[in-house]
Amino acid sequence: MDKTTYSIDGRDCLLYLTGKPAYILVQPVDDHDREVLDEQVTAIAGASPSPFVFVAFPVTDWNEELSPWDSPAVFGPDDFGHGAAGTLHFVEKELLPAVRIQFHLFDEVPVILGGYSLAALFSLWSAWQTDTFSAVAAASPSVWFPGWLEYASQQQPMTKAVYLSLGDREERTRNPVMTTVGDRIRQLHAHLEMLPRIQDTLEWNKGNHFQHTGQRCAKAFVWCMSALAKGSAGASSTRG
C-alpha cells in the first residue's frame, strides 16, 4: 500500500493507494484521526478485496467546517458554525477532480464519504445535498445535533447506501443533549428503512464514543464497499 501527501487547494491531504482504484474513499480528519489512519486503512485493505484510494483531508476548525448550520455549544466553549456547505464544495469541486486526474479515474468510480463523530454527521448531511456519493460511512455520527433528525426525516438522501454505528455506552452521558444520541440514531435508521432503493444498516459497537475510532471507521467503509458491490451485482443480474 502506497501512502503519500498530496496538496489539494492548499490542504495537505493523505492518500493511501492499494491498486487501480475501484472506489474512492474520502474522510475529513483531525489530529486524533490522523494518529490511527495507518491502522484504519490497513484494516480496510485487509477486509475488502477491492482496490481503492483513500483520501483524508484535514479539518482545522471542526465545529465550523463540519456543521450544517449554526447552533449553540453543546460541550466546551465553542458554538457550531455553518461551514459544511463550504467543505462539501471543496470535496466536490477541488478534491474529487484532483484525485480523478491524479489516478486517471472516470466519474463512474463510486465515491464513499465517511468519518467519525461530527465528520460522520457531515457525511450524512452531504448525502442529503448531492448524489456525488454512492455511499456514506457514518461511524458514531453526531445525530444529537440540534435540528438534524427533523431535517433528515423530511427528505430522502441521494445515495445508494448508508452505514450507521454507535457505541453501546454513548447515550450514557451526563450531557442532556448527547443523551439523545441513541434514540435519534434508532429513529434515523427507522426512517432509512422505510425508503426505497437505499441499503442501510445500524451496527452497535462495544464502548463509549472515544474507543476504537479507527476500527469503527474501517468497518463502516468496508460495509459500504460490500453493499455497493452487491448492489452492482444485482443490477447486472437484472439487466442480464
Beta pairing partners, 13:
6
Residue-range domains of the chain with CATH: 2-221 (3.40.50.1820)
Q: Which three cell numbers stand for residue 137?
A: 460511512
List, for residues 38-84, the tens digit of each pLDDT value: 999 999 999 999 999 999 999 999 999 999 987 876 777 777 788 99
Lowest mean pLDDT, pick from 111-125, 174-188, 195-209, 218-232: 174-188
Band of residue 177 on the pLDDT scale cut at 50, 70, 90: low
C-alpha to C-alpha distance for 105 and 217, rounded to whole angstroms: 24
Mean pLDDT (the chain) is: 91
Q: Is the pLDDT of residue 8 over 50?
A: yes
Q: In what order do the strands lie in the sheet with 52-58?
A: 2-8, 11-17, 52-58, 23-29, 111-116, 135-139, 161-167, 199-205
**How high is the pLDDT of residue 19?**
94
- pLDDT above 90 as % of the chain: 78
List, for residues 115-127, the tens digit of each pLDDT value: 999 999 999 999 9
Q: Which three cell numbers stand for residue 42?
A: 490497513
Residues contacting 75, CB < 8 A, separation 6+: 175, 178
- pLDDT above 70 as % of the chain: 94
Torsion of CA 159, 161, 162, 168, to 10 degrees: 180
